[in-house]
Amino acid sequence: MLAVSRSFSALMSASSDGQVLLWDLNRLELVRRLTTGKPVECARINDVTGVIMLCRGSEVSLWTLNGDLILEQNVYVEGDDTISSCAFYEGSGNEYLERNLIFTGHRKGVVNVWNIAISDSSFVLEHVKRMHHLDHAGYNIGATITSILPMAQKVYTGDDDGRVVGLLLHAPSECPQSLTYTFAV
């Protein structure tokens, strides 16, 4: 698995045995090893802040580019809720971000939104919202979320059945059908 940050000229590689390596693309050399010990299902580098996100099972860990652990937290909401995909919301242009949001994709068409916050002098992930892939009748689609692309007003997600769904971030709660629309594959 690979994750790239163009603005920080960094490449991160994660192997199935849990080894995570951070590479400097300017010097073309290995600069850091992040010890995780467990296989990594998803990895991202925030292109604005340089924060590294690693997801293993139902656990999210955030690291600095210098290899310092910021937080490690189990984020399961229900049952055996392993993370299959992840993403940062990085804003658009010079947008000020009041919240530092991350997204985790799960089985059964579920996407969870988390805010990186401070509680008792340490960083924690606060659950903000749970979104679902819905079909045109409003029923949950049971496919695993494999890709997430957060935008300013919508979050685009892909699942292992090949569907791409746009989820509105601020949809009215009384109108669940307006939460999704699906592109033909």
Ranges 98-102, 110-114, 174-178, most confident: 110-114
Q: 171 or 153, which is more confident? A: 153
pLDDT for residue 178 = 34
Q: 26 or 100, which is more confident? A: 26
Mean pLDDT taken over the chain: 85
- Topology of 1-74 in CATH? Thrombin, subunit H (2.40.10)
Would you kindly state where each structural domain of the chain is located, as residue ranges? 1-74, 85-120+136-185
Q: 4 or 132, which is more confident? A: 4
Convert the pLDDT of each residue in 79-104 to its tens digit.
Answer: 667 899 999 998 766 666 678 899 99
* Same fold? 1-74, 85-120+136-185: yes
The whole-number average pLDDT for the span 155-170 is 83
Q: What is the pTM of this model?
A: 0.85
Residue 167 has pLDDT above 90, yes or no: no
- Topology of 85-120+136-185 in CATH? Thrombin, subunit H (2.40.10)
Per-residue DSSP letters for the chain?
-EEEETTTTEEEEE-TTSEEEEEETTTTEEEEEEE--S--SEEEE-TTT--EEEEETTEEEEE-TTS-EEEEEE---SSS--EEEEEE---STT---SS-EEEEEESTTEEEEEEEEEETTEEEEEEEEEEE-B-TTSPBP-PPEEEEEE-SSEEEEEETTS-EEEEETT--TT-GGGGEEEE--
pLDDT for residue 94 = 60
Convert the pLDDT of each residue in 121-142 to its tens digit.
Answer: 899 999 998 888 877 777 777 8
Q: Which amino acid is at 131?
A: M
Q: 177 or 49, which is more confident? A: 49
pLDDT for residue 179 = 46
pLDDT for residue 143 = 85
